[in-house]
Structure formats: structure tokens, C-alpha cells
Structure 1
């Protein structure tokens, strides 16, 4: 998690000291001013930066607006309906009227709160307040990560255009629980086959990013020179654990995700969706097509607002609470592909 609360200005330190004033009116006024001052960096952390690793595109809407997004009228199963004709010597070309649907995304309120003893304010312990705001931010980020990834996994599990939807893509020649480069190759092929169009289609769908568990990453680190070239092995060997792509295999970015893996949060959620993995397989991997930026959306109908909690003063405490209204959606299921190993 990024730390967005920097070294305080003298004005912020003075505001903090005044929040511990014996004059309740002065203390509450200072709390209100401090809340407004800290609201900006918190908004920046949640909206201006990458959301869920740059997957979802946040879009701030007017509170009265409807979060409605058009869907692509062209689907893989209908591609033959749009093939050009040889113009006949008699008659005319058939008409093709296109109609598109739209999806309305439900938004919901998310809130969080934090407080601390007033004695930290009277002694101007800014480090305590800064840490409290980081915890407040982490609570929002955790909720957003969970909700966003559940949308992604559900979109992949809901696909019915490959093998009846189940089992997922898997490497039948691999040992159960062993992540292989052939699985990556199979996912690339499946993503391309089901993306629609043909080899000459512009901006055709493709597998660009793969999210894997730390255990899958461990398997990759054990690959020898017979399985990957020396350059890729060096990328894997020198990669850090900062959450960015650790390497590229077949042109696909690999991202380790702690919530994936046996018994972990996202694997447990997948188990509730009623979709089968390959025989004896233990966990899923998530493949995404992030080359288009046309599927994963996050409408925000009310940006994060931070308020002072004036009910805490009689308990010799101070604190903030806040809320935001947003939603998540995957508009095109072809941009998500699940596999298992």
C-alpha cells in the first residue's frame, strides 16, 4: 500500500494540536479543517493511481447520472452474420441493422472509520495520525480489491464459450498442482480462438496478463534452461516482490497475487461459483486481455468524503469516518480467461 500522508506542514501540526483543545468548539472546528486537508491525499490514493493493478478504469459520474455502459453488438458466435457478399447481378445487398444492448451497473456505499486518543493531538503526534489515516486508506483499498477481483473471477467463471464452461483451461499432461509454461500457451491459444475475428483482424483479443499464486511463481523459479531461455530466467531471478510484472512468458506479463492459491481468499470465492477445475487440479490462474481497456469499469457516483466524528469528544478521542459510492463491472467476458493447475 502506498503511503500518501507525507511530512506535515506547520499548519497541519497546528490543526492537530487544536483538535485536542479544551474548548470543544475550537477542537471540532480544527477536526473539520483537518478532515478536509486529509481528504485530498486519500482520494488521490483511491482514484488517481492504479486501481487493482491498473485493471479497472475509474470514472467519476454525477450523483444523479445512471451508470450505464453500451455492450458490443458484435459477438463471436455472430461473426459469420457480417461477412461481405459478392454483389449479385440482380437484386440488392441485404440490409444489416445493428442494435446494441446496454448494462446498468449498480453502485453501493462503502464506509470506514478510525479514531485515536486526544492525548496524541495535544502533543501533536502527527506520526500517530498519519498511521491512522494509512489504516483508514488500507480498509478502503482492501474492500475495493476484494470486490473488483470477485467481479473478474465471476466473469471468467461465467463464460460458456469453451468446453461448455467447465472444466477450465488446463494442461492435461501436467502433474496436478504444477504450473507449466504449456498452460500459458494453452491459455494464449484459447483466448485468441474465442476473441472473434481472424488472424488479420485489427485489435484482436489476446492474452496480455496472467495473475498467479506465489506457489505458481515458485514453480516458475524452478524451471531450468530446457524450459525457458536465459533472458527470461534472468528476469525471473532478478524480479522483486513489489506487485509489478515479474517477467514475460510468450509475451504475457506475469503478476504474483497472494490471494490466489490453495485455501486463499480468491480460490475460496471461486469454489462457491460451481465451476469445475481440471481433474485433480488444485488452484486457478486468471488471464486478462488488457490491450483494449474496454471491459473493466469502475463507476464512482460519489467520491470519497471524510468527516470529523464529533461524538468521540466526550470519550477523550478524536477520529474520522468516510464513505464513497462506486461499483465494478466486466462488460466483456472475452477479456477474462480462467485456467487451473
Structure 2
């Protein structure tokens, strides 16, 4: 019995702006700052390797002083809308009826809602009453791969079952208007909003790349490198400048022993399904993979088109790989990093 990823779908919010269209909003936001600082911030946005970003809010709303409650209310409303649409898309792709789902995982770290998104989706799509729910909040950018791992564990233990993983993120809802720190500025420059869904199955007749292996890797004593601080004005980004270097230091230990357990080397991997955390991380990983004769072109393209949509983004990369219709026996490595600090890995075979 194997667990397979049967379909992947994405859904974008209705608002979007090219990076050049965002710059006038920065002028207004930074009006009280000195000219040198304003130029620096603009350069960060222009050099972020993100051409366009989508949002659950119009830019005017993003750059308007509102309370945590007001922005979180928008997050809740739009998360339900995006979650419903992306799950419907994925089900249609797989030709599954909603009632055939046995397990639903919802992933998001950019807002707060109780009951969680999965409860709303059960009612919106009339999912079965005994469906097993797992809402995941605190895994950050790693949540997409983490969700794949959780779904695989459930399905591995339960033959002839189906699972849905829905990731919905709205980093623009966490933008801090009174915070001129580099963490807030860099996150605003690289992040965008979006949602994605993966359907997994332990039915023999369901087709898709099978999950050969999955593991998490935890960096000791690095809890403060990445995450959110809950403040009166909302979720305040924590983003240490040492993140790329920390990843680089651990990279060999993250990749090679994981593959070795399956008697594989990086040369045996056909597709690198890497979460586009940001330009610096992407460049660093690209250099490392280039030395091994591999590329992360799909990752770079997703970053350019949409920005980093936290947990949802890695499934955008996976969808692009699946569109290529890989040959039987070809392998893919999914990889993402998130708060903890941790790395999440999944090995796929078509």
C-alpha cells in the first residue's frame, strides 16, 4: 500500500499589484522617514525578485491604519472563500466527490480563527460527518510540506482513505503600519497571499506520485530566528538575517542522509520542489544545487509570479512539476523551512 498525491490546485485572491504599482504606496507610508531610508526600502522591493503579489486586501486597505480585529476579520472571511474555491478545484481535477474525503488538514499561520477553516469547509462542501480534522497553525512556511507529512502518516495507517490538505495564507494581513524594521519591510517585499490544495490517497486505484519517505529536521536553539510575535496591532514578523547562512550550514545534513536512507543521491533526483522563501534563500540554495547539477527554476518562477505565500507556496511549485507529466520512476524532493527552526522533506516517485 502506498500513499499518492492525486491532484494539486491553487487559488489566488482577487487583488493584485505589480511591484512598480506598489512603490507609490511606499512613498506615502515612508513620508516621515529620511530620504536615504526611503531609497533603501524601495531598492529592497525592486530587488526582491517578485514581479507581482496578490492580496486579500486592496493596497489602500493594507496601508491604512486599522486594528488587529479589523484585519483579522478580513482574513477570516477571505480564508473561508479561498479555502472553499481551492478545495473544489482540486476535487474537480481528481474527479472526486467531497463525501469521499476521510481526513482534512488546514494550514495557515497568518491569522486566527476558531473554529478553524476546516470546520467551515465541512459545511460549505457538505463533507462527511465523521471526517477527521487537523488544523495546523504554527508551522509557518513549512506548513505545506508538514501537511503532506501528516496526511501521509494518516493514510499509511488507514488503507483505502482519502485526505485533503488546504493551505491558505494572507501575509499582507500581518503588515505592521507603524513598524519600520527590516523584518517588516523585507517580509512585505517578498510575501504575497494565496491558497493551495493537495489531495492524497491510499487507494490502490488512485494515481499520482507516491510518497517514498518523509522527515522533519529540527535546528537546535534557533526558536527565535523566524516566526510571529503577537502584539496589540497584530502578528509582527520575526525574521533573522542569519536564516540563509543557517540553512547553508545545515544543508548537507538536511539533504544527503535523508536520501541515503532510500539508497539515493541528489543525482538521482529529477525534480527539486523547493519552497521559495525569498531571493537570498533561493539564490543560496540554487548555488548549492547548481554544484550538484540541478536547478530550481520552477521555484524561482513561482517567487517571481506570486511572491512567498508562506505554507501555500510549495504546492504551487509541485503543481508546476506535475504539469510536466514526469516519467514513471522519476523522483522529486520537496523541501521547505519554517519556524522552530526546522526543515521539512518529502521524497516523491512518479
TM over 0.5: no
Higher helix share goes to which structure? 2
Give the greater-gyration-radius structure (CA).
1
TM-score, length of structure 1 as denominator length:
0.25
